[in-house]
């Protein structure tokens, strides 16, 4: 946050206003891409659910499922680790591809949970995410230390989730989901605050790619918070 404080402490009011506009434009662009990603994911999931042939192909082909999963991980890695080398067009194309792939893998949510519970948990997620993101945006307190703590929690959630794929223990799943709600709710605030730093750290030619990277972080927070809430409170189909 030192970068943000130094950048905004400008005596010239004209320069300060320009920086404020730059940050505001960047934040709008990032949230715009996040909304596009969520819309693409929801639309793709609905289309896949409405096509039994596609669902059966994914269910019966384990290599296909793992290919989709690995492709998602690859896109996240490229967008996160190489954002400074990507053009805005390439970054946005990768983000769109990731959103569509996530829609394919998330289509099974509609087969496991009732439509009413999916809709309810989506609204609850939107309210929780919106509140924390708003707080992260307006607070003057640095969340860097908070972010490090949340990252450790995230690692724990990922490891526990992978282990429980073999254990299939309901108690472990419940605790993991509960911790996941706390972690991703906190990350919503942390990543929202980071948008300001990204806006000021990126050059004019990098604004597009960095905004997409910021959108990806927010998108992942939203999706994972939604899934954790759904596991805890979602009504399953019989």
Structure tokens that stand for 152 in this block: 């450790």
Closest CA to 218 of 196, 179, 187: 187
pLDDT of residue 232: 94
pLDDT of residue 40: 97
Question: What residue segments make up the domains of the chain, in order of their start?
Answer: 2-233
pLDDT of residue 156: 92
pLDDT of residue 55: 81
pLDDT of residue 136: 94
Torsion of CA 112, 113, 114, 119, to 10 degrees: -140
**How far, in Å, CA of 66 to CA of 71, rounded?**
8
**How far, in Å, CA of 129 to CA of 150, rounded?**
15
**How far, in Å, CA of 126 to CA of 120, rounded?**
10
pLDDT of residue 13: 58
CB 141 within 8 A of CB 196: no
Paired strand residues for 113? 236
pLDDT of residue 10: 42
pLDDT tens for the chain, 238 residues long, are: 333 444 444 445 547 777 888 889 999 999 999 999 999 999 999 999 988 888 888 878 878 888 988 999 999 999 988 888 899 999 999 999 999 999 999 988 888 899 899 999 999 999 999 999 999 999 989 898 888 899 899 999 989 988 888 888 888 889 999 999 999 999 999 999 999 889 888 777 788 999 999 999 999 999 999 999 999 998 888 7
CB 188 within 8 A of CB 136: yes
**How far, in Å, CA of 100 to CA of 37, rounded?**
8
Structure tokens that stand for 207 in this block: 């604004």
Paired strand residues for 219? none
pLDDT of residue 12: 58
Write out pLDDT tens, residues 14-57: 477 778 888 899 999 999 999 999 999 999 999 999 888 888 88
For the purposes of burial, counting CB atoms within 10 Å of the CB of 35, is it exposed (0-12), middle (13-18) or buried (19 or more)?
middle
Paired strand residues for 236? 113
């Amino acid at each position: 946050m030192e970068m943000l404080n130094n950048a905004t402490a400008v005596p010239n009011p004209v320069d300060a206003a320009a920086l404020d506009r730059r940050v505001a434009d960047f934040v709008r662009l990032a949230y715009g891409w996040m909304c596009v990603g969520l819309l693409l994911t929801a639309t793709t999931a609905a289309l896949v659910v409405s096509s039994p042939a596609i669902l059966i192909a994914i269910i019966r082909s384990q290599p296909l499922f793992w290919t989709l999963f690995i492709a998602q991980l690859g896109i996240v890695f490229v967008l996160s680790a190489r954002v400074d080398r990507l053009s805005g067009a390439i970054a946005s194309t990768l983000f769109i591809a990731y959103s569509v792939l996530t829609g394919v893998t998330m289509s099974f949510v509609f087969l496991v949970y009732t439509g009413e519970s999916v809709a309810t948990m989506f609204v609850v997620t939107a309210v929780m995410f919106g509140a924390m993101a708003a707080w992260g945006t307006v607070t003057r307190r640095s969340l860097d230390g908070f972010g490090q703590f949340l990252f450790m929690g995230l690692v724990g959630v990922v490891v526990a989730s992978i282990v429980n794929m073999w254990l299939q223990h309901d108690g472990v799943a419940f605790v993991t989901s509960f911790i996941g709600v706390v972690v991703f709710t906190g990350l919503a605030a942390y990543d929202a605050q980071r948008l300001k730093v990204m806006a000021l750290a990126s050059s004019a030619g990098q604004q597009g790619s960095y905004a997409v990277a910021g959108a990806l972080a927010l998108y992942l927070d939203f999706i994972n918070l939604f899934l954790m809430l759904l596991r805890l409170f979602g009504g399953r189909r019989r």
